[in-house]
A and B are shown apart, each in its own frame.
Chain A
Amino acid sequence: MRIIVFNCGSSSLKYRLIEMPGEKELAGGEAERVGPKTAEPARIHHQVSGKKETIVVEMPDHATAFTQVMRLLERDPELVPDAIGHRMAHGGPNFKQHVILDDAVMSELERIQELAPIHNPPAVRLVAACRRLYPTLPETVVFDTVFHATIPEVARSYALPAALVAKYGFRKYGFHGTSHQYVAQEAAKLLGVPFEKLNAVSCHLGSGGASLCAVVNGRSLDNTMGYSPLQGLMMSTRSGDLDPAVALTLLVRAAGNGAAVEGLLNRKSGVLGLSGMSADIRDVVARAADGGAADIDQLAVAAQVYLWRIRKYLGAYLTLVGRAHCVIFTDTIGEKMPHVRWAVTAGLQCFGLDIDPERNDAAIVLPADLSTPSSRVRILAIATNEEMAIARFSYDLLSRARAERIAQ
């Protein structure tokens, strides 16, 4: 079964065509600058069997981007998809499993899309376009929040009046679940531990969003993100944790303009806001380290705050997990920045973490074990592959549905 997996960003569309169950990647790429015209033209970077090409084409919306991607694939009959798997950031309170798309799912997706106003609406529009343009292709929807459906009530509750919570649904959801689950499963394989027995802290440190997840017996017990992806770690442009009184003070200063404050906290804070230089922590750490920048102190502060918040949450979750098998680093920063991995784990021998600086620096081919032989808790760097995870979920869902149909 060939499954095309779509990962829809606000102005981009990443895709991978994966042959399942063999998990062979047949094609992939990314449509960039989807939406209103920008200074540079919209284009698709398309890759088949190592051959890359870039196609410049207007893509005013995700539906057009999808159509263009399908046209590229349909040039080769061997690359025509049998099914579509979608990544959806937020599943709301009711999607506790990944699902096959039908009318009821579609209407619930539309109902909850404002829970993640940046991520869900373009993805929902894409799902609708796929349905309209390829009505015979089965579609699955894989939610970032599903892995966190196991977070117990005590951890997902905010200390707010019950009536208010019931009316507005304020609770922790947690995000990046697909990635956390994927790397935790890979870690279990690597360590030879059954996934249902794995205890770990997974650190998904992306160049944009970032979160930590406490995993106990293969289930998510907590995630640093909350009701929205704003809570938790300091991220590229998100503030992360912030005194709620400060958010309300900002609202007063913005004359009640909530969208302006949300914009400030989601898009102009974090690494970008604190460094004043770049939203990418790699730039900030490099400039702070080389000492060449005039505003070196501010860069050093930005780097320190970024690392400190990870370290604090790592301690919190290691305490929650108890006897952890491993700490996992993944996604762009977690996979490619030895300095970050070292800075947040060094000196935590009390938690059983003993990172080997040489192994850490040398870890280019992943997965890699970065800990010393005597480290009680293994420190792993594992490349995340959300698209592969989505393909696996989609294949399982569709295979089960087919088996049920045959059984009937």
Chain B
Amino acid sequence: MNTLVLIPGRKSLRYAGFVAGSETCTGTIRGFRWQGPRAALDEVRTIVQAVGLCDDVPDVVVHGLFGGEDFPGPAALDQDALVRLERVARQSPLHVAGLIETARAVQEVFAGMPARLAFETSFFVDLPLRERTYAVSPDLSHKLALRRWGYHGLYHEAASREASRSWRKRDCAPSPRILSICLDAQPEIAAVMGRRPITVTSGATPLEGLPGETNSGEIDPAVALALAGEAGLGPEGANALLVGESGLSGLVGRRVRLDDVLTSARSECVRAREVLLYRMLLASGTAAAALGGVDAVVFSGRYFSCSAVVAQHVLPHLDRAGALGPHAGEWTIFAKPLETVLADTATLH
């Protein structure tokens, strides 16, 4: 079976073609937004046709960040899905509006090919009520469609699935308690009971939680209000600062990547690394309490190669507190890139 994976971003479109499960081509189309998705997708079609991907009609998988409760799993890209996306757009206008535009262009450019949407939030649709609820009035939550989400559900789900599989080989307990640590530009930690997420560090938006490359992560809400008011940035300016100029880059004082911060010996990175690892330690303890202990630890994400740095900091603390099961110290890595995870959704669901 052939699969074409499309990952639309803010500025670029990533694509990957798989023939019989093997990646045959991959790349990025720059200027995706300003030239419009149609032109970028035409370019992708030309590339994948040249490598023979379309000789056998491929499944097209389109990545979405936010699908809300309307998308509890991957869904066929059809009229019904577009109607549901329009509904979801009210909750996450920036992300979803761009996705709708891309999805319509996919229908045109890849007409006749079965296409599906796969969302990062789907894994977290059934997050327990006590975890997903904010302590504000239910009316307000309803009006704003306010609840906690995770934004690396595809990694967490695939990594947990693999960790569960490994666990079952060595133990008969059906549902291992998994600490899933996704090392991406916006890192995220989830507690997963077997296949079900119990907690996650992100919030209503990806801004809450761990500090990312440019995201502040969790701060006192009063600080957000002070940035908008006392600092004179206004709500939009404060949001732009918290999303785009804070986090690890804010701490270091220049734009940095997560792997730089986790591995660099440069002094300006050391403090940012300490802040990140400290927050990861607390989040791991939170996950351990939510699960009642940890049987397995699995790392995933674009920067999985930095797993050892995090493991060496976090796991001894969990162990000393007594929260690690007998095999959890033998942490594992789920090394597949997002493109492959998305391609796998075509066969798994």
A245 shortest CB reach to chain B, Å = 4
The complex places the Cα of A241 from the Cα of B275 at a distance, in Å, of 18
Q: Are B282 and A320 in contact (CB-based, < 8 A)?
A: yes
A57 CB-CB contact with B under 8 Å: no
Task: Enumerate B273-315 residues with CB–CB distance to A below 8 Å.
Answer: 274-276, 278, 281-290, 292-294
The answer on a CB contact under 8 Å between A245 and B321 is no
**Cβ of B344 under 8 Å from chain A:** no
Q: Which of B137, B231, B292 contacts A347 (CB 8 A)?
A: B292
Q: How far is B226's CA from A261's CA once the two chains are assembled, in angstroms?
A: 11
Residues facing A in B115-138 (CB within 8 A) are 129-131, 133-138
A106 to chain B, nearest CB (A): 24
Selecting from A47-55, A78-86, A96-104, A150-158, the interface stretch reads A150-158
> What are the residues of chain A within 8 A of B228 when measuring CB–CB?
248, 251, 256, 258
A248, B219: Cβ atoms closer than 8 Å: no
Contact yes or no, A244 B216, CB < 8 A:
yes
Other-chain contact of A248, B217, B238, B248, B289 (Cβ < 8 Å): B238
Inter-chain CA distance A244–B281, complex, in Å, is: 21
Q: Which residue in B211, B243, B286 is a CB contact (below 8 Å) of A316? A: B286
Closest to A153 in B: B271
Q: What sequence of 0s and 1s flags, for each residue 193-219 of chain B, a beta carbon within 8 Å of any chain A beta carbon?
A: 000000100011101100100011111
Residues B317 and A320 in contact, CB atoms below 8 Å apart: yes
A157-186 interface bits toward B, Cβ cutoff 8 Å, 1 = contact, 0 = none: 111111010011010100000000000000
Q: How distant is B306 from chain A, measured CB to nearest CB, in Å?
A: 18
Which of chain A's residues have a CB closer than 8 A to the CB of B135? 234, 238-240, 242, 269-271, 273-274, 305-306, 309
CA distance in complex: A164, B282 (Å):
25
| A230 on the B face (CB < 8 A) | yes
**Inter-chain contacts of B289 with A (CB < 8 A):** 311-312, 314-316, 318, 348, 351
Contact B286 A312 (CB under 8 A): yes
Which residues of chain B come closer than 8 Å to A228, judged between CB atoms?
220, 222-223
A350 CB–B CB distance under 8 Å = yes
Q: Which residues of A contact B325 (CB under 8 A)?
A: 350
CB pair A323 B225 closer than 8 Å? no
* Nearest residue, chain A, Cβ from B243: A245
Residue of B nearest to A302 (CB): B135
Q: Answer yes or no: A195 CB below 8 A from chain B CBs.
A: no
Cβ of A131 under 8 Å from chain B: no
Contacts of B287 in A (CB 8 A): 315
Interface residues of A in 221-252 (CB under 8 A from B): 222, 226-228, 230-231, 234, 238-249, 251-252
- In the complex, what's the smallest C-beta–C-beta distance from B241 to chain A, in angstroms? 7
Tell me the dominant secondary structure on chain B's binding face. Answer: helix
Question: How many residues of B sit at the interface, in one of the four size bands?
Answer: 35 or more
Residues of A within 8 A of B223 (CB): 158, 160, 170, 226-228, 244
Q: Which of A240, A244, A319 contacts B288 (CB 8 A)?
A: A319
Count of A interface residues, CB-CB < 8 Å? 77
> In the docked arrangement, what's the CA distance between A324 and B320, Å?
10
Nearest to A295 among chain B residues (CB) is B138
| Contact partners of B242 in chain A: CB under 8 A | 160, 244-245
For B223-246 the 0/1 string (1 means CB < 8 A from A) is: 111111111001110110111011
* Chain A 356-394 per-residue mask, 1 if CB under 8 angstroms from chain B, else 0: 000000000000000000001000000000000000000
- Supposing A227-B220, A315-B286, A320-B285 touch, asked if A244 and B207 sit within 8 A by C-beta, the answer is yes
Instruction: Annotate A253-291 by CB proximity to B: 1 below 8 A, 0 otherwise.
Output: 000101001101100111101101000000000000000
User: Chain B nearest CB: distance from A213 CB in Å?
Assistant: 13
Chain B residues with CB under 8 A of A311: 289-290
- Contact indicator B219/A308 (Cβ below 8 Å): no
A301 within 8 Å of B (CB atoms): yes
Closest-CB distance, A141 to chain B (whole angstroms): 23
Q: Which residue of the partner chain, among B134, B288, B320, contacts A239 with CB atoms under 8 Å?
A: B134
In the bound complex, residues from chain A placing their C-beta under 8 Å from that of B146 are 246
A217 within 8 A of B: no
Residue picked from A170, A247, A256, A309, most chain B C-beta under 10 Å: A247
Give the residue of B204, B236, B278 whose beta carbon is less than 8 angstroms from that of A246: B204
Query: Closest chain A residue to B237 by CB distance?
Result: A248
**A322 close to B (CB within 8 Å):** yes
A234 CA / B133 CA spacing, docked (Å): 11
Write out the residue numbers on chain A whose beta carbons fall within 8 Å of the beta carbon of B276: 159
For residue A66, CB closer than 8 A to chain B, the reply is no
Q: Is the CB of A243 within 8 A of B251?
A: no
CB nearest neighbor in B for A321: B321
Which chain A residues border B322 with CB–CB below 8 Å?
A: 350-352, 376
Q: Is B218's CB under 8 angstroms from A241's CB? A: yes
Cβ contact within 8 Å between B221 and A231? yes
A251's contact among B204, B205, B225, B285, by CB below 8 Å, is which? B225
Judge whether B20 is part of the interface by a CB distance below 8 angstroms: no
Say yes or no: A261 contacts B129, CB within 8 Å: no
Task: Determine if B51 is an interface residue (Cβ-Cβ < 8 Å).
Answer: no
* Interfacial residues, chain A to chain B (CB-CB below 8 A): 153-155, 157-162, 164, 167-168, 170, 172, 222, 226-228, 230-231, 234, 238-249, 251-252, 256, 258, 261-262, 264-265, 268-271, 273-274, 276, 298, 301, 304-309, 311-324, 347-352, 376
Which B residues are within 8 Å of any A CB, using their own CB? 129-131, 133-138, 140, 144, 146, 199, 203-205, 207-208, 211, 215-231, 234-236, 238-239, 241-243, 245-248, 250-251, 253, 271-272, 274-276, 278, 281-290, 292-294, 317-318, 320-323, 325
27 contacts between A and B (CB under 8 A): A158-B216, A158-B219, A160-B219, A160-B223, A162-B250, A164-B241, A168-B231, A226-B222, A226-B223, A231-B220, A243-B208, A244-B223, A245-B204, A245-B243, A247-B225, A248-B225, A252-B236, A271-B135, A274-B135, A308-B131, A309-B135, A315-B286, A319-B288, A320-B281, A350-B294, A351-B321, A351-B322
